[in-house]
């Protein structure tokens, strides 16, 4: 008898832990590896947030368990953030739940909503946790194709109606990982209408809502009238405030889904450390100046990298948000081959598009998570390559 469940043994290895191992091996052999693979911001958490964590950690009243739903101060801060950013009113008691990062929340929501055999529409390409989360919940992934030539909006008419009829939930993500696509509110209006017509619920992942530039401001799905009847929206402090390791996020919206997730979680965890929730509350209710400073840095890096890719003939749309560029690859390579090629010949790690779903083939994701000097080094190394001959010129 196997010691490991079928659900676990059938999971593909988590891509980024595989890349991490490869990177370590290369570094050990003396290669100066530049990692544009994993999407973890390199910029530090703003100092006022760290200071507030220290202050709250010094208060011994904060050393016990949080309430299961999360600290009221944090949930009120999320409500205030939605009011200020999107003019959306949320009830902190029933429409907001603290998460130990949005990844945890997304995976657990699937457990709380999906029964074995239920279908879930998953954006293709999309953040890998959506697929594995559906698998772990015993559900069936139905690929939701996105319009490559039209800003990666969902192409609902390309999905078999029989599969749509079986679907209980649809996942969406804008600004998007990996494509860096951004949308206007009309995309969310269409999504809610689709959910209404097809009797399904939506989980919108807004992890990059604050990471925007070039004059673009990301809308919230909650701004659509009746959104709370059909959708929840996940938020994260990880990207906008560079707090990936802190493990703090939230979910807002439909109270039935939030209650189901809260019930599941109350049997698994006891929410996040109170000082982390308090510091995150401070971040959400701040003037967001540090977010703007970080965004200006990402925008500059994006311009630099976009130009570098263009110079070697690699086409990519210019993003208005996220910390990624989604680049086409040269002819004659698969995305995995091209990622291997870059690693072998340039010491640069990028993520093969196919890691994000079948439609990611033909692309690689480039993360803008190193400084300008290192990006210049990437540009120089790219310039040395000759893709046509599959070797160094």
226: phi > 0 → left, psi -120 to 50 → alpha, else beta; which?
left
CB of 128 to ligand PLP, least distance (A): 9
CB of 39 to ligand PLP, least distance (A): 5
Residue that has been written with the tokens 């003019």 in this structure: 87
- The residue among 69 and 351 lying less far from ligand PLP, judged by its C-beta, is 351
CA-atom Rg of the chain in angstroms = 21
Number of neighbours of residue 281 by Cβ within 10 angstroms: 25
Q: 329-334 contacts: CB < 8 A, separation 24 or more?
A: 329/353, 329/362, 329/363, 329/364, 330/387, 330/388, 332/387, 332/388, 332/390, 333/387, 334/361
Per CB under 6 A, contacts with ligand PLP among 210-239 are: 236, 238
Question: Do 59 and 71 form a contact (C-beta atoms < 8 A)?
Answer: no
- The residue among 53 and 385 lying less far from ligand PLP, judged by its C-beta, is 53
- The residue among 179 and 262 lying less far from ligand PLP, judged by its C-beta, is 179
CA-based nearest residue to 283, from 251, 252, 248: 248
Asked if 127 touches ligand PLP (CB under 6 A), the answer is: yes
- The residue among 298 and 341 lying less far from ligand PLP, judged by its C-beta, is 298
Asked if 133 touches ligand PLP (CB under 6 A), the answer is: no
- The residue among 98 and 173 lying less far from ligand PLP, judged by its C-beta, is 173
Question: Do 278 and 328 form a contact (C-beta atoms < 8 A)?
Answer: no
Take residue 310 and report the two structure tokens written for it: 């263009």
Which ranges of 115-160 does DSSP label H, i.e. alpha helix?
A: 128-136
Its sign, for the CA torsion 110, 218, 34, 385, is positive
Among 66, 69, 102, 272, binds ligand PLP (CB under 6 A): 102
Asked if 262 touches ligand PLP (CB under 6 A), the answer is: no
Asked if 277 touches ligand PLP (CB under 6 A), the answer is: no
Per CB under 6 A, contacts with ligand PLP among 352-371 are: none
Asked if 103 touches ligand PLP (CB under 6 A), the answer is: yes
Among 56, 205, 209, 233, binds ligand PLP (CB under 6 A): 205
Per CB under 6 A, contacts with ligand PLP among 73-92 are: none
What are the φ/ψ torsions at residue 226 (nearest 5 degrees)? 70, 5
**Distances from the Cα of 204 to the Cα of 211, 226, 230, angstroms:** 16, 14, 11
CA distance 39 to 230: 29
CB of 342 to ligand PLP, least distance (A): 21
Asked if 94 touches ligand PLP (CB under 6 A), the answer is: no
Per CB under 6 A, contacts with ligand PLP among 135-174 are: 173
Asked if 19 touches ligand PLP (CB under 6 A), the answer is: no
CA-based nearest residue to 53, from 276, 233, 266, 361: 276
CB of 304 to ligand PLP, least distance (A): 22
Among 70, 249, 319, 321, binds ligand PLP (CB under 6 A): 249
CB of 171 to ligand PLP, least distance (A): 10
Asked if 101 touches ligand PLP (CB under 6 A), the answer is: yes
Rule CB under 6 A: which residues touch ligand PLP? 39, 101-103, 127, 173, 177, 205, 207, 236, 238, 244, 249
């Amino acid at each position: 008898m196997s010691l490991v469940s079928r659900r676990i043994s059938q999971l593909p290895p988590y891509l980024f832990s595989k890349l991490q191992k490869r990177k370590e091996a290369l570094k050990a052999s003396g290669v100066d590896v530049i990692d544009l693979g994993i999407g973890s911001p390199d910029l530090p958490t703003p100092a006022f947030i760290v200071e507030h964590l220290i202050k709250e950690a010094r208060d011994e009243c904060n050393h016990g368990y949080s309430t299961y739903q999360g600290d009221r101060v944090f949930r009120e801060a999320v409500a205030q953030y939605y009011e200020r950013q999107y003019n959306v009113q949320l009830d902190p008691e029933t429409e907001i739940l603290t998460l130990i990062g949005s990844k945890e929340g997304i995976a657990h929501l699937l457990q709380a909503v999906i029964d074995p055999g239920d279908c879930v529409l998953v954006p293709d390409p999309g953040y890998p946790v959506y697929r594995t989360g559906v698998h772990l919940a015993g559900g069936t992934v139905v690929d939701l194709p996105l319009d490559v030539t039209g800003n990666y909006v969902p192409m609902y008419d390309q999905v078999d109606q029989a599969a749509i009829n079986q679907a209980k939930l649809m996942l969406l993500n804008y600004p998007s990982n990996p494509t860096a696509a951004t949308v206007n509110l009309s995309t969310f209006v269409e999504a809610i209408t689709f959910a209404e017509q097809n009797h399904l619920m939506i989980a919108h992942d807004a992890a990059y809502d604050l990471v925007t530039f070039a004059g673009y401001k990301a809308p919230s799905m909650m701004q659509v009238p009746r959104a709370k009847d059909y959708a929840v929206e996940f938020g994260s402090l990880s990207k906008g405030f560079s707090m990936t390791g802190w493990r703090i996020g939230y979910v807002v919206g439909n109270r039935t889904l939030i209650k189901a997730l809260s019930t599941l979680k109350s049997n698994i965890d006891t929410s996040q450390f109170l000082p982390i929730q308090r510091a995150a509350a401070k971040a959400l209710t701040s003037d967001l100046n540090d977010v703007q400073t970080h965004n200006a840095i990402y925008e500059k890096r994006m311009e630099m990298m976009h130009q570098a890719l263009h110079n070697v003939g690699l086409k990519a749309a210019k993003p208005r948000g996220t910390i990624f560029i989604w680049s086409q690859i040269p002819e004659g390579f698969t995305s995995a081959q091209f990622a291997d090629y870059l690693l072998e010949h340039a010491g640069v790690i990028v993520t093969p598009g196919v890691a994000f779903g079948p439609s990611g083939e033909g692309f690689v994701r480039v993360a803008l998570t190193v400084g300008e000097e290192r990006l210049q080094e990437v540009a120089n190394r790219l310039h040395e390559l000759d893709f046509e001959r599959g070797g160094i010129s």
